[in-house]
Amino acid sequence: VVALLMGYALPESARDVAAHVSPEEGERAREIPDGAMEAGRWLRDHSSPGDVVATDLHCRQVTESACDSRHYWVAGFTERRVLVEGWAYAESTLSRTPLFRASYLDVPFADPVRLAANDAVFRRPTAENVRHLAQKYGVKWLFTDSNRRLERFAQLRFRNESSSVYRLF
């Protein structure tokens, strides 16, 4: 039985391990842009440990339409709780993954309403969207790439070549 189960899991596991052990040239630099650590550390140093951060950087882009939900560096660099990021390894994801029939990477975020509220702030920023995120989810900070559309609804506090950090009013 163990050998049979390993036979089902081994090809997929070997492919995943090989992709991580020997990434394509420059792939790691694309996953975490230059300046991201600086922005994350700035936010850590200028916020409180209980502050909540929202980001639109919650997927590692593998194709135009696919989301690899193993993106977690915003939480890692800021040392803050992030509203939506890196759900691949969450218990809520793993418990919803059919054993040996699907990859945990294909499981969507557990709370689609929260994901929609988070993404709306970055895709279609409005005063109402930003206020909703702050009031319902306690978000105080926005961490994004160079999304300048947020400047009307939040105070820009830090920007470098790859990242912007906003404080909600």
Q: How does residue 113 score in pLDDT terms, banded at 50, 70 and 90? A: very high
Q: What would the pLDDT profile of 8-49 be if each residue is shown by its tens digit?
A: 666 666 556 555 544 554 444 457 899 999 999 999 999 999
The answer to whether 36 and 162 are in contact (CB under 8 A) is yes
Q: What would the pLDDT profile of 142-158 be if each residue is shown by its tens digit?
A: 999 877 899 999 999 99
The answer to whether 78 and 38 are in contact (CB under 8 A) is no
Q: How far is 45 from 65, CA to CA, in rounded Å?
A: 35
HSE (CB half, 13 Å, CA atoms) of 106?
A: 7
Question: Which long-range contacts does 10-17 make (Cβ < 8 Å, 24+ apart)?
Answer: 12/103
The answer to whether 134 and 140 are in contact (CB under 8 A) is yes
Burial class of residue 82 (count of CB atoms within 10 Å of its CB; 0-12, 13-18, 19+): buried
Q: How far is 80 from 74, CA to CA, in rounded Å?
A: 8
Q: pTM to 2 decimals?
A: 0.78
Query: Residue 80 has what pLDDT?
Result: 98
- Token couple for 152: 């009307």
The answer to whether 90 and 80 are in contact (CB under 8 A) is no
- Stated as kind and residue range, the H or E segment containing 54 is strand 52-55
Give the list of residues 6+ apart from residue 126 with CB closer than 8 angstroms, or none: 153
